[in-house]
Structure 1
Amino acid sequence: MPASPSSSAQAARQALALRLAHLIRDAHINGRELSTRCGWNPAKTSRILHAKAAPSDADIRAWCTACGAEDQADDLIATNRAVDSMYMEWRRLHQAGMRRVQQDVFARNAAAKLCRAYTSNVIPGFFQTVAYAEALMRAITDFQGTPDDITEAVAARLARSRFLYEGGHHFVVLIEEWVLRSRIGTIQTMAGQLNHLLTVMPLPSVSLGVIPLGAPRTVWPLEAFYLYDNQHTVVETLTAVINVRQPREISDYVRAFTGLAKLAVRGDAARALIRSAIDALE
């Protein structure tokens, strides 16, 4: 497995830094001369070259001008923006509220025919009830201290459930049993959510597996991740969302999902675990 879920972003940042270093060499100058031409401290150039600081659009334009490579500025800016989107802090994404992020996830689900999800923390969004989503988003908003647009965000999140019924989409989901027993909201909220899981399980678009608490681990519990058509993996951590598009890393997440799927129970056995979690609430 990758050493860190943000390794794709760091590797891409280093690749961009290498391209900027090549511009300096091609211009037959050194980092100090580049810094002088750009009008900033040499320490800034060093941080960018060592991938410890992300350059702004203006920094890249100044860099290219200093190296006589203005024609490469637009391409490097586009690359830099793509790298920046790989690792996004939740507070930055939620700085105006949660609705916009939910709309982005809706578009991602709309484009993907196959979504594979491993959830080790909460019920996935496309399975959530209104009450569960409201309670969860309230907890996240309070923790992050970001603007409250929960009503709009919940509506945007629940809109994803339409893909369970239309458009030829398929959802293969693995849920850790402790997610069924981790209460979000009131007892009634959690009971309603668990009963909703039983309702969606028979849908042709859904394949749901539950990993029992006592399952012998060949793949250790991981952070929640979502695989979209083998083209894009989204990993959710406490502080950030990581977008993985490097084929090697996507392959690792596919392998992990395959291993986790072998630990899961399905059908009547999965329903029994869900019903047991409901009974425990009472």
Structure 2
Amino acid sequence: MSTHPSPGVQQAREALAARLAEVRKDAGLTKRELAVRCGWHESKSSRIENARTPPSDADVRAWCEACGAAGRAPDLIAANRASSEMYVEWRRLQRTGLRRLQESGAPLYRRTRRFRVYCSDVVPGFLQTPGYAAALLGTIAAFRETPDDVSDAVDARMRRNSVLREGDHRFAMVLEESVLRHRMGDAPTMAAQLGHLLSAMALPSVSLGVIPFTVERTIWPMATFTVFDDVRVHADSLDAAATLTQPSQVGLYIRAFQQLSGNAVFGAAARALVTRALATLDG
């Protein structure tokens, strides 16, 4: 097994190293002066700054304090902790099938109290029916050429989604209207899914908004993301799952969610959009 970090991990380490170098330069310190203040050898400063040696949390904290920038330490420590998990290839996540991927997220779902979910492409997993989930996960398994355990994965997703009705959890979700129109499965599958969305809107733990096609936007459509409490963001792309934990990153997504929510309609207006999408289905 290779001991070299993946390209994504190395990029994250290099980005962290560049930020630490910036902190040092802003303080007007040489690497030697920094090392003296931190009580370590000058070569350690160079290895960290050149991304050859990943720093510990204590190293990052000492670095910032030595530069008179202690306030920057929390963000940098979060970046340091996330560097080994920030980008995880979907193929590696899914190599043992989709069921395990669904089950792996269950502990995070159970301990999270406040979810903020924005979806621009498909119905949020929390609100998917078994039929819709099977259609979606089936396309993923086929595209990724992963083991065909779609049925087990759907069961795992439904178990995971029990948090929607159990425990002290709150869900704020915003969908683009296009999510209501994208056909995932046949017409009966989509009809059942849209009907389920209407039912979910009545749940006391759920706030569900839809951004209409016709709204004058104050923020652009973007990739799907989920904010877990105020401490973690999952942002998905075709080839990677990004886990973001830096306070500044999480804050940026929270601000984006607030603006997207401002473009959405809720209550009767949202239900009308779902009902309109239902009416366009071919029986």
> Same-fold call, TM > 0.5?
yes
Question: What residue is the counterpart of 1:167 in the other structure?
Answer: 167
SS in 2 for 1:174: strand
One-letter amino acid of the counterpart of residue 101, structure 2? V
SS in 1 for 2:85: helix
After superposition, the Cα gap between the structure-2 partners of 1:13 and 1:112, relative to the gap in structure 1 and judged at 3 Å, is farther
Question: Conserved in 2, the CA contact under 8 Å of 1:87 and 1:241?
Answer: yes
Question: What residue is the counterpart of 1:240 in the other structure?
Answer: 240
Matches within 5 A, 1:32-71: none
Question: What residue is the counterpart of 1:71 in the other structure?
Answer: none
**Structure 2 residue 137 is the aligned partner of structure 1 residue 137:** yes
Q: CA deviation at 1:103?
A: 1.2
Distance across 2 between alignment mates of 1:173 and 1:54: 41
Question: What residue is the counterpart of 1:198 in the other structure?
Answer: 198
The RMSD of aligned alpha carbons is 3.0
Q: State the Cα deviation string for residues 117-159 of structure 1 (Å, max 9, x = none).
A: 0000110111001110000001011111111111111111111
> How many residue pairs get matched?
234
Question: What residue is the counterpart of 1:216 in the other structure?
Answer: 216
Question: Conserved in 2, the CA contact under 8 Å of 1:9 and 1:86?
Answer: no
Question: What residue is the counterpart of 2:229 in the other structure?
Answer: 229
Question: What residue is the counterpart of 2:64 in the other structure?
Answer: none
Q: State the Cα deviation string for residues 36-80 of structure 1 (Å, max 9, x = none).
A: xxxxxxxxx9xx9765x999xxxxxxxxxxxxxxxxxxxxxxx98
Question: What residue is the counterpart of 1:128 in the other structure?
Answer: 128
Q: State the Cα deviation string for residues 171-217 of structure 1 (Å, max 9, x = none).
A: 00000000000000111111110001011110000000000011112
Question: What residue is the counterpart of 1:3 in the other structure?
Answer: none
Q: CA deviation at 1:27?
A: 6.0
Question: What residue is the counterpart of 2:109 in the other structure?
Answer: 109
Question: Conserved in 1, the CA contact under 8 Å of 2:82 and 2:243?
Answer: no
Question: What residue is the counterpart of 1:95 in the other structure?
Answer: 95
**Structure 2 residue 137 is the aligned partner of structure 1 residue 119:** no
Distance across 1 between alignment mates of 2:269 and 2:155: 32
Question: Conserved in 2, the CA contact under 8 Å of 1:99 and 1:150?
Answer: yes
SS in 2 for 1:262: helix
SS in 2 for 1:123: coil
Question: Conserved in 2, the CA contact under 8 Å of 1:14 and 1:50?
Answer: no
Question: What residue is the counterpart of 2:181 in the other structure?
Answer: 181
Task: Please report the TM-score for the alignment, with normalisation by the length of structure 1.
Answer: 0.75
Matches within 5 A, 1:263-282: 263-282=263-282
Identical-residue share of aligned pairs (%)? 43
| Unaligned stretches of 5+ residues in structure 2 | 1-6, 21-30, 55-78
Q: CA deviation at 1:100?
A: 1.6
SS in 1 for 2:83: helix
Question: What residue is the counterpart of 2:16 in the other structure?
Answer: 15
Matches within 5 A, 1:69-80: none
One-letter amino acid of the counterpart of residue 110, structure 1? R
After superposition, the Cα gap between the structure-2 partners of 1:139 and 1:153, relative to the gap in structure 1 and judged at 3 Å, is same
Question: Conserved in 2, the CA contact under 8 Å of 1:232 and 1:244?
Answer: yes
After superposition, the Cα gap between the structure-2 partners of 1:191 and 1:10, relative to the gap in structure 1 and judged at 3 Å, is same
After superposition, the Cα gap between the structure-2 partners of 1:213 and 1:97, relative to the gap in structure 1 and judged at 3 Å, is same
After superposition, the Cα gap between the structure-2 partners of 1:29 and 1:234, relative to the gap in structure 1 and judged at 3 Å, is closer
SS in 2 for 1:281: coil
After superposition, the Cα gap between the structure-2 partners of 1:280 and 1:95, relative to the gap in structure 1 and judged at 3 Å, is same
Question: What residue is the counterpart of 2:147 in the other structure?
Answer: 147
Q: State the Cα deviation string for residues 8-57 of structure 1 (Å, max 9, x = none).
A: 984445436999xx8xx966779xxxxxxxxxxxxxx9xx9765x999xx
SS in 2 for 1:277: helix
Distance across 1 between alignment mates of 2:244 and 2:8: 9
Q: CA deviation at 1:7?
A: 9.9
Distance across 2 between alignment mates of 1:272 and 1:151: 32
